[in-house]
Each structure stands twice: as C-alpha cells, then as structure tokens.
C-alpha cells in the first residue's frame, strides 16, 4: 500500500492509543476507577476539534486574502470534521459524566459552554446553506467562521475557569497538574491527541480532494 508517511503515522499512533490505552497502568483514583482511560478517547476529541477548527479558520482567512475556491473548500470541510469531533466529544462526555458525576448533563459550565460553542458552529453550516451565490457564500461564511472561532476559545478555555466546574483544571485551578495527569497518563495521552487529530486531518484531506474533483467535473461537463 502506498500511503503518505503521515497516514502511516496516524495508523501507528491510533493502534498505540487503543492497545496501550487499555493495557497501560493508570493512577488508582476513587470514583473514576478504570474510566480514567476515557482520557485517551474523550479529551482528544476536543483537542482534535480545536486543532481542526483552527485549520478551518486559517483557510477562511486565507480565502479572504486570496479568494480561491480551494481555500473555501478546505475551510468548509475542516469545519464539518471539527464539528463532528465536537459532537463526539459531547456525547462521550455525557456518557462519562453519567457514571462519574451522576448525570448525563449536570449543567457544568464547561458542558454548557461547549454546547453553546457547537450551536455557534451549527449556525455556520446553516449560514452556508442559505446563499445561492458561491462567492457570497464563501466570503460571508469565512467572516462568520473567524468570529465563531473567536467566540469558541473564551467559551471553552476562559469562562469555565472563572466559576466552579466539575471538569478538572477549571474553577480557578491551573491547567493539567490538578488532573493527576501523571507521566503514565501522558505517555498515552499525547500520542492519542496527535493520532486522533491526524485522523481528522485525513478525513478533511479526502473530503477536500473529493470536493475539488466534483467542482472540476462540473466545470468540464
């Protein structure tokens, strides 16, 4: 099989994540117990979402500077994959919360903020669908995308820290150390983040190529 090196890397990192995610030693913590392994699957969804939405925003800005159809396609496809990661993140979070916090939705500030963030991005999809003219659609949705990303960052990383939250690392606590994110967890967690993000990039790559093909096909037809 001929594959680009980073696709092989994706496969290797994901296999490592799944195997080591189940077999590696983890801290023995009350309430969490073995569910601490969700760290390798739930949290990378959010990291992946942020990174892929960052790609989307970069290409939206690129489009505004240089209105190539390709830039618009990449922005749109990566926004969709980012939203998919976000939805998976919220679903896995609810499942995890049910058995550790007691309820699927406990109105935790970070839960609410991520739901609002996702709604902002759903509106991006609706906005795109509401234009007939290609250039108008690309330009206005690019501007909206920049604002959406600018709203998402404080929603996820600043506002939940200002109040008490069930999420670790929030409610006045600084980042990761309070997480008991010890070296054993890190050894799987960081490869997991890169692996899942690359998987998203792979899907974006495929969908972009497909969309470019489609456009070229219609141009020729």
Let me know if 211 is exposed, middle or buried by CB neighbors in 10 A (0-12, 13-18, 19+).
Answer: middle
Calpha distance 140→65 (Å, rounded):
13
CA 146, distance to chain mean position in Å, is: 16
The reply on whether position 29 binds another protein by CB under 8 A is: yes
The reply on whether position 65 binds another protein by CB under 8 A is: no
* Gap between the terminal Cα atoms of the chain: 32
The reply on whether position 139 binds another protein by CB under 8 A is: no
Interface mask (CB under 8 A) for another protein, residues 149-188, using x and -? ----------------------------------xx-xx-
Calpha distance 177→193 (Å, rounded):
17
CA 143, distance to chain mean position in Å, is: 20
Q: Which residues inside 33-62 make contact with another protein, applying CB under 8 A? A: 33-34
* One residue of 65, 98, 134, 209 binding another protein per CB under 8 A: 209
User: Interface residues with another protein (CB under 8 A)?
Assistant: 1, 3, 6-7, 9, 11, 14-15, 18-19, 22-23, 25-26, 28-34, 183-184, 186-187, 190-191, 193-194, 202-203, 206, 209-210, 213, 216-217, 220
């Amino acid at each position: 099989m001929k594959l680009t090196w980073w696709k092989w890397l994706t496969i290797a990192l994901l296999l490592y994540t799944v195997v080591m995610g189940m077999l590696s030693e983890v801290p023995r913590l009350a309430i969490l117990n073995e569910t601490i392994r969700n760290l390798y699957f739930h949290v990378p969804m959010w990291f992946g979402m942020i990174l892929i939405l960052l790609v989307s925003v970069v290409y939206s800005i690129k489009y505004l500077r240089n209105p190539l159809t390709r830039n618009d396609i990449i922005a749109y496809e990566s926004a969709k994959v980012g939203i998919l990661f976000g939805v998976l993140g919220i679903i896995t979070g609810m499942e995890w919360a049910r058995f550790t916090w007691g309820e699927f939705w406990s109105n935790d500030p970070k839960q609410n903020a991520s739901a609002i963030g996702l709604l902002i991005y759903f509106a991006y999809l609706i906005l795109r669908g509401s234009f007939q003219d290609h250039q108008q659609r690309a330009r206005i949705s690019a501007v909206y995308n920049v604002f959406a990303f600018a709203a998402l960052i404080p929603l996820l990383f600043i506002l939940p820290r200002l109040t008490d939250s069930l999420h670790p690392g929030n409610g006045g606590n600084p980042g990761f150390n309070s997480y008991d994110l010890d070296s054993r967890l890190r050894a799987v967690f960081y490869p997991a983040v890169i692996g899942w993000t690359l998987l998203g990039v792979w899907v974006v790559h495929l969908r972009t190529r497909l969309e470019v093909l489609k456009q070229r096909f219609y141009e020729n037809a």
